[in-house]
């Protein structure tokens, strides 16, 4: 019995660490992909969590350990123009689970209200211009942004 209790107490720190490492913060928002100032270029235009629930098209997750923001975009909520702005090509040309890259022509500052909800711990979070991994699934498009 002593050994069983000793093993359990020795393993408790490992179990608590495993739980905290998967404790990502999640926010749902309406995200627009028309580029900086919404002028129709490639990149994020706007993120707004204060919209009607029916307009929410993106689940935003912040991974505290990897300092990464993950956008899970609900494909049925997108029209053809929005899909084209995200992929820069037609979806018919891609099969599910195809890995592509999302082009950000300009830096995008995440709204402070969303940064606070994601519990990032600082304001003026910038997603820098560049290419970011994008994966297409049946019902979602996933984009991973590594923060600096």
pLDDT in tens, 19-60: 444 457 889 999 988 877 677 777 888 898 888 888 899 999
Domain extent for 94: 25-146
Inside any domain, residue 42: yes
Q: What is the pLDDT confidence band of residue 67, given thresholds at 50, 70 and 90?
A: very high
**Number of structural domains in the chain:** 1
Is 130 within the bounds of a domain? yes
Q: What is the DSSP string of 82-101?
A: HHHHHHSS-GGGS-TT-EEE
Task: Calculate mean pLDDT across residues 102-113.
Answer: 90
In a domain, 10, yes or no: no
Residue 71, token pair as written in the block: 């956008």
Highest mean pLDDT among 10-14, 33-37, 69-73, 101-105: 69-73
Q: Does residue 2 surpass a pLDDT of 80?
A: no
* Residues ≥6 apart with Cβ < 8 Å to 20: none
Task: Identify whether 15 is part of a domain.
Answer: no
Which residues fall within 8 angstroms of residue 100, CB to CB, at 6 or more apart?
A: 87, 94, 134, 135, 136
Chain mean position to CA 83: 16
Containing 145, the helix (H) or strand (E) segment is strand 140-146
Q: What is the pLDDT of residue 77?
A: 92
Residue 29 in domain:
yes
């Amino acid at each position: 019995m002593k050994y069983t209790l000793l093993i359990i107490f020795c393993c408790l720190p490992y179990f608590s660490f495993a739980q905290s490492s998967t404790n990502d913060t999640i926010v749902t928002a309406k995200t627009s992909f028309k580029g900086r100032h919404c002028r129709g270029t490639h990149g994020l235009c706007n993120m707004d969590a204060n919209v009607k629930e029916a307009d929410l098209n993106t689940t935003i997750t912040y991974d505290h350990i990897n300092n990464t923001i993950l956008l899970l975009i609900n494909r049925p909520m997108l029209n053809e123009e929005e899909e084209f702005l995200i992929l820069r090509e037609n979806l018919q040309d891609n099969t599910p689970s195809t890995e592509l890259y999302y082009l950000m022509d300009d830096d995008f500052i995440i709204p402070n209200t969303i940064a606070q909800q994601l519990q990032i711990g600082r304001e003026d979070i910038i997603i820098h211009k560049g290419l970011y991994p994008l994966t297409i699934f049946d019902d979602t498009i996933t984009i991973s942004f590594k923060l600096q």
